[in-house]
Amino acid sequence: MVAKVYAISVSEKKGTRKSNVESADLQVDLGIVGDAHAGKWHRQVSLLAKESILKMRDKGLDVTSGDFAENITTTGIDLVSLPVGTRLQVGGEVILRITQIGKVCHDKCAIYYQAGDCVMPREGVFAEVVAGGTIKPGDDIKVITDD
């Protein structure tokens, strides 16, 4: 199975569900233009597998892409098995470097209260933008190896 972008989501505020968009522009050292998490830090872009969302749906939660505040919902790639430093090519131009796997949530955010649980602390992956460009749902995701 080829890894793909399933959905792209953005929000104006942190700690809220994100809305799905048809495409996103990513800038080096910033993240997704117009997203609350963009900035000069190590968690510019967040990724979560569709498979993780489906696990939550199987538990009876009414959740979909963007509900866990992830920017990129993926399919066909085991994100949490990729080590920090892994580079991903998304679409034709964008390159992301994984900087963090999972996160510590000190306070339960709106997502937790709305969804009843949050998979991001366990299965979310964070990245910085190494090469910018535009991405859209359906784009391929490839792990870049230094062969």
> Exposure pattern of 92-123 as b/e (b: 16+ CB <10 Å)?
eebbbbbbebeeeeeeebebbeebeebbbeeb
Residues 91-132: tens digit of each pLDDT:
999 999 999 987 666 566 555 665 566 666 678 899 999 999
Residues 22-62: tens digit of each pLDDT:
999 999 999 999 999 999 999 999 999 999 989 888 877 78
Burial of residue 90 (number of CB atoms within 10 Å: 0-12, 13-18, 19+): buried
**CA–CA dist 49, 128 (Å, integer):** 17
Q: What is the pTM of this model?
A: 0.90
* Residue 57 confidence (pLDDT): 85
- pLDDT value at 147 more than 80: no
Of 14-18, 65-69, 102-106, 135-139, the poorest mean pLDDT is in 102-106
* Residue 125 confidence (pLDDT): 94
Domains of the chain: residue spans and CATH:
4-144 (2.40.33.20)
